[in-house]
Structure 1
Amino acid sequence: MTIPDYVDAALFLGMHSTDERLRVACKSFFTARVDDRLIMSMEQIGRCDDTIWRLDRDLQDAYYPFMDTLHTVVDIHRPAYDEADVQRGLSNPLCRRFPTHERLLLGMVMRREGRLTSASPRLVRRRPACLPVHPPEPVTGPEPCFPEPLEQLYQKSLAVRLPREVL
């Protein structure tokens, strides 16, 4: 049985981080999984949109063609939280140190026996080893590329650069 791969807004937005090592690591995660199925809760997608919608319109226009195309090219399943996900995330004592949006996501991932890859500094630095959270792997070689025309759209979308504290 394959373990479901969950991603969060921090990993997705991390592809536009001002921290170059983080940006490339997040991008590498997605370039390596173009043909795979990923899971991103509807709430996490909304968090991405909320971040981008706060930017000037010209930056939104540079970003959204990439994001829209990536969501078309990559099989990203977008489930909503259900009652059991919410209960698991809010009642688990290991999750209490995290903000509510991360507790809900952790509840979904744990209950559905998945693995979360995140660029959230809170999740990757402060997590107990028993939580299924992993940072994106650092890249030691050249920056990986998306298949065309997605890579061209990505390069244009880099007009958007986000500091780590926004992720």
Structure 2
Amino acid sequence: MTDGAIPVIDASVFMGMHHSDPDVRAKSLSFFSAFYSRQVLMSFGQIGICDAIIWKKSRHLQDVYYPFMDVLHTDMNIQRQGYCNKVLKRACQETDWAHLSVEKKLLAAQVVEHQRPFFTHDDSLRELSALKPFLQSFPPSISSPAFPEKLQSLYEQSREMSIEQEDFQYVR
């Protein structure tokens, strides 16, 4: 893995900022605090999973969540990327990944093919031997606000929405 490579995150990390589990939420917030001024990468598919989770919520919760998400995506250097043919081929050929959803296979293949550091809360991905060299530990928890003042205020408002593990079902 190349030092200084842009890390990949998945929907579990992004949505983890609103997770009902305080440990998951703290790890996601520490990640975003540490990487706020740096680049991170999310696949179009993982961004779509985040959207699918939010669109299942009530209109009211969408309205309190989206201002935070909108400003975060504008202010933070989150690179968005599709999949190349090499990633598609690897995702289809890895027999050890047969039990994974297509979205998880593509994500794993993207990380391995491009040799990128990877942050996830997803146990099924953390258990893959091919991903172990790329898995990163989350930065230490923070006690101060994770974001600049305006964005922190929007985050606090958006916390009305809470993500449960079940929210990830039926969107992958």
TM-score of the pair, normalised by structure 1 = 0.90
Counterpart residue number, 1:133: 135
Counterpart residue number, 1:5: 7
Answer with 80-89 or 50-59: which moved more.
Answer: 80-89
Secondary structure, in 3 states, of the residue corresponding to 2:35? coil
Change (3 A) 1:105 1:11: same
Unaligned runs of 5+ in 1: none
Secondary structure, in 3 states, of the residue corresponding to 1:4? coil
Q: What are the superposed Cα offsets for residues 77-128 of structure 1, whole Å, 9 maximum, x if unpaired?
A: 111112111111221233333221111011111111111101113222x222
Secondary structure, in 3 states, of the residue corresponding to 1:133? coil
User: In structure 2, how many angstroms separate the alpha carbons of the residues matched to 1:130 and 1:6?
Assistant: 12
Counterpart residue number, 1:159: 160
The one-letter code matched in structure 2 to 1:23 is R
Counterpart residue number, 2:42: 40
Whether 1:106 and 2:102 are equivalent positions in the alignment is no
TM-score of the pair, normalised by structure 2 = 0.88
User: In structure 2, how many angstroms separate the alpha carbons of the residues matched to 1:154 and 1:162?
Assistant: 14
% same residue: 32
Q: What are the superposed Cα offsets for residues 32-87 of structure 1, whole Å, 9 maximum, x if unpaired?
A: 11110110001110110010011000100010011111111110111111211111
The one-letter code matched in structure 2 to 1:133 is L
Whether 1:70 and 2:72 are equivalent positions in the alignment is yes
Aligned residues: 165
The one-letter code matched in structure 2 to 1:96 is A
User: In structure 1, how many angstroms separate the alpha carbons of the residues matched to 2:146 and 2:86?
Assistant: 38
Counterpart residue number, 2:87: 85
CA contact 2:34–2:139 (8 Å) conserved in 1: no
Secondary structure, in 3 states, of the residue corresponding to 2:81? coil
CA contact 1:119–1:136 (8 Å) conserved in 2: no
Unaligned runs of 5+ in 2: none
User: In structure 2, how many angstroms separate the alpha carbons of the residues matched to 1:112 and 1:35?
Assistant: 22
